[in-house]
């Protein structure tokens, strides 16, 4: 709840001019005063990627949007210090699929949904394209910040290849070998029990996605009601102007009320836009993020189940073996690799989540303060 102290003064609105309320948070942004530590390592980074300049392409068979992906780097893996390529959504989707295939033990950041967000009719509208651009930019930045994914060869190709389609057609025979040592097996193995620390992660993700889903539904309902209220306000205000034209002695205060309602319309419209463009996308991203983490957890379970089954098979064999078979050792290595990578990615994800939601909620509080001041 936000509390404001209004001074004892004449609050009449003869001409619709805003009243000076001198609220405690007046005009100084909470977000500006909040010292975020999300870019402390900016000086040590050697790879910077941005997504901007969306362009619409109309072809005979389809219409689509491409985005400019700009890369600046000092890494030896890149031939040039700077690249600029154009990519469409399906190229980002290809990249994510390749990262999942070649890095199965790691959490791959989610992409925005393929289909139109609920309530948005035109996927080529400026609002939708800009929301998607922000999400794609965040997707690449999350990969760039990852100590393993950022060195993936598929990612390098995505950032540098002028013709990505030609590269896709060549086949990925060489690059696909990268992930062979950690490929998970989707066999008919059943896990006895998940280790406690991973069981706790699974329970947390279930609860987290459930709570976020509830917040997302309620937020969408609030925005819908705000927009319906906005329609009513726009009809409500002009009535006072019409009334003022009929009664001269009341025209000044009536015009004041009409102008004030107009100010309320503008302020509410801005608040609704902020919630639609800034608040909801973060909720959706983290709902998808938690699903991605659950998938990695399932892959870890499959590898552990395979390892347990192989150990049982060895134990059941009567002949004495001098050592554990090589395939069992390899399977154990995969389990340990999954465990280490999953824990490291979970910690990184939690840190990002704290920063993102801290910024999101402080920003939303700031926008609400500004709305009520207006």
| 264 vs 258: CA distance, rounded Å | 10
Same domain, 360 and 311: yes
Q: What is the structure's pLDDT at 121?
A: 52
Same domain, 254 and 326: yes
Task: Rounding to the nearest 10 degrees, give the CA dihedral for residues 108, 114, 120, 126.
Answer: 80
Q: What is the structure's pLDDT at 327?
A: 80
| CATH number of the domain where residue 69 is located | 3.30.1520.10
Same domain, 220 and 263: yes
Q: What is the structure's pLDDT at 317?
A: 72
Q: What is the structure's pLDDT at 38?
A: 46
Domain-located, residue 169: no
Q: What is the structure's pLDDT at 188?
A: 56
Domain-located, residue 316: yes
Residues of the chain scoring pLDDT < 50: 1-31, 33-42, 117-118, 120, 173-186
| CATH number of the domain where residue 208 is located | 1.20.1270.60
Q: What is the structure's pLDDT at 314?
A: 78
Same domain, 72 and 149: yes
Stated pTM of the model = 0.77
Domain-located, residue 61: yes
Same domain, 160 and 210: no
| 217 vs 120: CA distance, rounded Å | 16
Domain-located, residue 181: no
CB 15: neighbour CB atoms within 10 A?
A: 11
Same domain, 120 and 204: no
Structural domain ending residue among the three candidates 141, 164, 187: 164
Structural domain of 344? 196-373
Q: What is the structure's pLDDT at 192?
A: 75
Task: Rounding to the nearest 10 degrees, give the CA dihedral for residues 17, 22, 23, 27.
Answer: 80
Same domain, 149 and 252: no
Domain-located, residue 346: yes
237 neighbors 261 (Cβ within 8 angstroms): yes
Q: Name the domain count of the chain.
A: 2
Structural domain ending residue among the three candidates 122, 140, 164: 164
In order, the DSSP letters of 38-71 are: TTTTGGG--EEEEEEEEEEEE-SS-EEEEEEEEE
240 neighbors 258 (Cβ within 8 angstroms): yes
Structural domain ending residue among the three candidates 164, 188, 211: 164
Show Cβ contacts of residue 157 under 8 Å, excluding neighbours closer than 6 positions: 164, 167, 175
State the number of CA atoms in the 13 A half-sphere of 14 facing the CB: 2
Domain-located, residue 102: yes
Same domain, 292 and 240: yes
Q: What is the structure's pLDDT at 154?
A: 92
Same domain, 224 and 137: no
State the number of CA atoms in the 13 A half-sphere of 214 facing the CB: 5
Domain-located, residue 178: no
Same domain, 156 and 106: yes
Show Cβ contacts of residue 206 under 8 Å, excluding neighbours closer than 6 positions: 294
Parallel/antiparallel/unpaired status of strands 82-88 and 47-58: unpaired
Q: What is the structure's pLDDT at 115?
A: 55
Same domain, 76 and 202: no
Same domain, 360 and 268: yes
Domain-located, residue 130: yes
262 neighbors 239 (Cβ within 8 angstroms): no
Phi, psi of 9 (to 5 degrees): -155, 170
């Amino acid at each position: 709840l936000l509390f404001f102290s209004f001074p004892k003064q004449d609050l009449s609105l003869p001409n619709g001019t805003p009243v000076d309320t001198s609220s405690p948070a007046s005009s100084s942004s909470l977000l500006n005063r909040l010292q975020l530590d999300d870019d402390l390592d900016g000086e040590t980074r050697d790879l910077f990627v941005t997504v901007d300049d969306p362009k619409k392409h109309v072809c005979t068979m389809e219409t689509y949007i491409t985005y400019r992906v700009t890369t600046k780097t000092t890494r030896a893996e890149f031939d040039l210090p700077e690249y600029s390529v154009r990519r469409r959504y399906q190229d980002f989707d290809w990249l994510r699929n390749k990262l999942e295939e070649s890095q199965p033990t790691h959490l791959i950041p989610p992409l925005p949904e393929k289909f139109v967000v609920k309530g948005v009719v035109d996927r080529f509208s400026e609002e939708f394209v800009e929301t998607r651009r922000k999400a794609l930019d965040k997707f690449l930045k999350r990969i760039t910040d990852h100590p393993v994914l950022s060195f993936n060869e598929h990612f390098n190709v995505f950032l540098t290849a002028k013709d990505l389609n030609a590269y896709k057609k060549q086949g990925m025979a060489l690059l696909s070998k990268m992930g062979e040592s950690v490929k998970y097996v989707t066999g008919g193995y059943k896990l006895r029990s998940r280790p406690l620390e991973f069981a706790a992660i699974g329970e947390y993700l279930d609860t987290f996605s459930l709570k976020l889903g509830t917040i997302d539904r309620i937020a969408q309902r609030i925005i819908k009601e705000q927009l319906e209220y906005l329609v009513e306000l726009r009809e409500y205000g002009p009535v006072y102007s019409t009334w003022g034209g009929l009664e001269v002695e009341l025209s000044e205060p009536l015009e004041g009320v009409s102008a004030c309602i107009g100010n309320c319309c503008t302020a509410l419209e801005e608040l609704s836009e902020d919630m639609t463009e800034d608040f909801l996308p973060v909720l959706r991203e983290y709902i998808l993020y938690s699903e991605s983490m659950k998938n990695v957890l399932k892959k870890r379970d499959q590898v552990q189940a395979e390892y347990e089954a192989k150990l049982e098979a060895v134990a059941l064999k009567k002949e004495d073996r001098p050592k554990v078979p090589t395939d069992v050792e390899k399977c154990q290595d995969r389990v340990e690799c999954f465990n280490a990578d999953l824990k490291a990615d979970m910690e990184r994800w939690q840190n990002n989540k704290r920063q993102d939601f801290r910024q999101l909620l402080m920003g939303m509080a700031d926008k609400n303060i500004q709305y009520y001041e207006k």
